[in-house]
A = this chain, B = another copy of it.
Amino acid sequence: MPSYTAPTKDQQFVLHDLLNIHDAKISGYEDLDRDTTAAILEESAKIAENVMAPLNVVGDQQGCKLENGIVRTPTGFKAAFDEVRAGGWTALDCDPEYGGQGLPYIVATAVGEQFSAANIAFNMYAGLTHGAYSAIHAHGTDAQKATYLPKMVNCDWTGTMNLTEPHCGTDLGLMRTKAVPQDDGTYQISGQKIFISAGDHDLSDNVIHLVLAKIPGGPEGIKGVSLFIVPKYIVNEDGSLGDRNGVSVGKIEKKMGINGNATCVLDYDEATGYLLGDMHKGMRAMFTMMNEARLGVGLQGFAQAEVAYQNAVDYAKDRLQGRDVTGVKNPEGPADPLIVHPDIRRNLMDQKSFIEGGRAFIYWGAFMLDMAHRNDDKATEGLVSLLTPVIKGYLTDKGFDYAIAAQQVYGGHGYIEEWGMSQYARDARITMIYEGANGVQALDLVGRKLATDGGKHVMAFFDLVKTFCKENADDDAMTDFTGPLKEASKDLQAAGMYFMQNGMKNPNNALSGSYDFMHMFGLVCLGLMWGRMAKAATEKLAEGAEDAAFYETKLATARYYMARQLPMTVTHLRRIESGGDTVMALDAEQF
């Protein structure tokens, strides 16, 4: 049976030693001193470890069941959900006007890491609600906000996002769901939506569906899409629940993972819907939440690697197999623990250096989102928009890879469901797909974000790297880190240059390299994070910090990252510079 221990010390290292959130001049960060974040993270850790983690395997094994039109979640989910709601954990970064706690997004991110690692499927019920909450908060009328938000903040009512239809996911312009205007200002929504996470369940009194649909007679394609609020139960004037609306669960999908979450086919049959935001501007309304949602998925992917890693380390220390080739390490026992073997080390160091670097990256992203929103900082908003597809794409691809790597440490036991490692891999797999498949993230990065505002955000990123390297140029202790980082950053710049010079001639030259570029960018971002973490650790050691071993570990892991992970940029660059011709050479029938 796998377990989870919240890495609060590592989390605090990123929050305070790396990002210095206690000193950040961001509105709402005033109270985020070390004691406060420690108090929050220790409380959330209890929930993650004791309430959520024990239900992770249960959710996977039982899945959700559709019985007479009613969706039943796995045993224990309802009680746990009530405990989480009662503790205020769904309301952390919500607006105090509607009952939220008003904490910055970075706090929600740190807590979210713990929750996602402990039980991703369970946390999606609140996660989707938060997405719907944000949409209504950003685009709703005062009346809509007053009706829905107070109930959604604490998950009395949960929410969903309805985009996909059987024939369209990425290309939502093909959408068929219709919204027919009624005399009373409402709309009748009809159509089928699929892959609706947390689409229905027995955890809350009402489910507030946000549904994209087309109003007949509107513009063709994506420009004719509007967003609607479609509650499972109609809400009466007085706020009480009225009639069942015309939305029903067609089926629950049988999936590779996240079985504890009900992924539903939802059939809308003249359901009553209320326009949210402007007519035909549904995509824009969706997009305002996109950065946050994609960061959230990046967090999920990375978190699966984290919990898988923890368990792999325990197993590697515990399992006796073979002897250390440089000399017996466990003479009392029949064999040495797995962790003495260099290839097991290589595997665990890959995981560790990714996980700690990934955490820094995603917390930095959350930090920038707070700065953008709370300080209305446009430059930072541009930078975090640029990096969002990297966070989503890179952290989920690698999160999955390292969940697989952790599973590998277990040998045959990793393949047996009883040990739980398969579930982490199967659960992580979805994060590469939903909220925009990673190929679409790469396209967004190279086809859109790179050139935004004349390319000034990517230049700002390179300046960050350059400045960091320059600031530490005279520090001998730092050249182990700045050297490789500078080199990798140059590779990334060269790739960007290649796109500029050759993408004009033929966009396929750029788009054929988009996936490599996304990964390359991720590598350099983690390189920057490791450089900064090495700096922070060096300073702590110079200050004579108490827990020297902790900071030494950071330095050793940073060195590993520079030596073994970062050089991957070289291959990515080679691929990119080979251009689009070999990629596009075949006719479709030659495949």
Known pairs A439-B344, A556-B582, A582-B349; A320 contacts B412 (CB<8 A): no
The answer for the CA separation of A341 and B446 in the assembled complex, in Å, is 14
Of B432, B511, B559, the contact of A343 (CB 8 Å cutoff): B511
Q: Which of A493-530 contact B (CB under 8 A)?
A: 506-508, 511-512, 514-515
Oligomeric state, in number of copies?
A: 2
Is A433 engaged at the interface, CB distance under 8 Å to the other chain?
Answer: yes
Produce 1/0 per residue, A423-441, CB < 8 A to B: 0011001101110011100
Is A170 engaged at the interface, CB distance under 8 Å to the other chain?
Answer: yes
Known pairs A345-B512, A417-B256, A512-B345; A352 contacts B567 (CB<8 A): no
With a CB–CB cut-off of 8 A, which chain B residues contact A316? 591
The answer for the CA separation of A317 and B587 in the assembled complex, in Å, is 11
A256 touches B343 (CB 8 A): no
Known pairs A168-B321, A313-B591; A411 contacts B426 (CB<8 A): no
With a CB–CB cut-off of 8 A, which chain B residues contact A317? 588, 591
Of B194, B508, B567, the contact of A571 (CB 8 Å cutoff): B567
Of B164, B342, B553, the contact of A514 (CB 8 Å cutoff): B342
B590 touches A507 (CB 8 A): no
Produce 1/0 per residue, A406-427, CB < 8 A to B: 0110011011111000100110
With a CB–CB cut-off of 8 A, which chain B residues contact A447? 325
B408 touches A432 (CB 8 A): yes
Of B168, B563, B574, B591, the contact of A348 (CB 8 Å cutoff): B591
Is A46 engaged at the interface, CB distance under 8 Å to the other chain?
Answer: no
Q: Determine how close the nearest CB of chain B comes to the CB of A437; give it in whole angstroms.
A: 5
Interface residues of A, count at CB 8 A: 95
Of B170, B438, B586, the contact of A556 (CB 8 Å cutoff): B586
Known pairs A317-B588, A507-B325, A591-B352; A583 contacts B346 (CB<8 A): yes
A422 touches B256 (CB 8 A): yes
Of B256, B408, B578, the contact of A415 (CB 8 Å cutoff): B256
With a CB–CB cut-off of 8 A, which chain B residues contact A575? 563-564, 567
With a CB–CB cut-off of 8 A, which chain B residues contact A219? none
Is A148 engaged at the interface, CB distance under 8 Å to the other chain?
Answer: no
A256 touches B426 (CB 8 A): yes
B429 touches A411 (CB 8 A): no
Is A337 engaged at the interface, CB distance under 8 Å to the other chain?
Answer: yes
B412 touches A321 (CB 8 A): no
For residue A309, which residue of chain B has the nearest CB? B591
With a CB–CB cut-off of 8 A, which chain B residues contact A552? 590
For residue A254, which residue of chain B has the nearest CB? B417
With a CB–CB cut-off of 8 A, which chain B residues contact A174? 320-321, 334-335
Of B415, B434, B585, the contact of A412 (CB 8 Å cutoff): B434
For residue A574, which residue of chain B has the nearest CB? B567
Is A241 engaged at the interface, CB distance under 8 Å to the other chain?
Answer: no
The answer for the CA separation of A145 and B579 in the assembled complex, in Å, is 59
For residue A553, which residue of chain B has the nearest CB? B590
Q: Determine how close the nearest CB of chain B comes to the CB of A96; give it in whole angstroms.
A: 36
The answer for the CA separation of A443 and B583 in the assembled complex, in Å, is 35
Is A182 engaged at the interface, CB distance under 8 Å to the other chain?
Answer: no
With a CB–CB cut-off of 8 A, which chain B residues contact A567? 570-571, 574-575, 578
Q: Determine how close the nearest CB of chain B comes to the CB of A65; give it in whole angstroms.
A: 16
Of B411, B434, B511, the contact of A433 (CB 8 Å cutoff): B411
B564 touches A583 (CB 8 A): yes
B415 touches A429 (CB 8 A): yes
Of B194, B341, B508, B553, the contact of A586 (CB 8 Å cutoff): B553
Produce 1/0 per residue, A191-219, CB < 8 A to B: 00011000000000000000000000000
A515 touches B343 (CB 8 A): yes
Known pairs A433-B408, A571-B568; A339 contacts B591 (CB<8 A): yes
Is A127 engaged at the interface, CB distance under 8 Å to the other chain?
Answer: no
The answer for the CA separation of A60 and B426 in the assembled complex, in Å, is 15
With a CB–CB cut-off of 8 A, which chain B residues contact A508? 325-326, 342
Output the residue of A320, A348, A412 with the most chain B CB within 10 A: A412
The answer for the CA separation of A575 and B560 in the assembled complex, in Å, is 10
Is A584 engaged at the interface, CB distance under 8 Å to the other chain?
Answer: yes
A559 touches B582 (CB 8 A): yes
For residue A509, which residue of chain B has the nearest CB? B342
Is A255 engaged at the interface, CB distance under 8 Å to the other chain?
Answer: yes
The answer for the CA separation of A586 and B584 in the assembled complex, in Å, is 46
Is A131 engaged at the interface, CB distance under 8 Å to the other chain?
Answer: no
Is A171 engaged at the interface, CB distance under 8 Å to the other chain?
Answer: yes
The answer for the CA separation of A171 and B164 in the assembled complex, in Å, is 50
A416 touches B507 (CB 8 A): no
With a CB–CB cut-off of 8 A, which chain B residues contact A585? 556, 559-560
With a CB–CB cut-off of 8 A, which chain B residues contact A181? none
The answer for the CA separation of A588 and B174 in the assembled complex, in Å, is 54
For residue A170, which residue of chain B has the nearest CB? B321
For residue A310, which residue of chain B has the nearest CB? B591
9 of the cross-chain contacts (CB-CB < 8 Å) are: A171-B322, A195-B412, A255-B416, A256-B426, A341-B439, A342-B584, A345-B586, A553-B590, A564-B578
Nearest 4 Cβ contacts at the A-B interface: A563-B578, A342-B511, A567-B574, A256-B422
- Known: A347-B439, A349-B586, A556-B582; 10 extra A-B contacts, CB below 8 A, are A337-B588, A339-B591, A341-B443, A341-B511, A342-B584, A345-B583, A347-B515, A400-B404, A408-B432, A411-B437
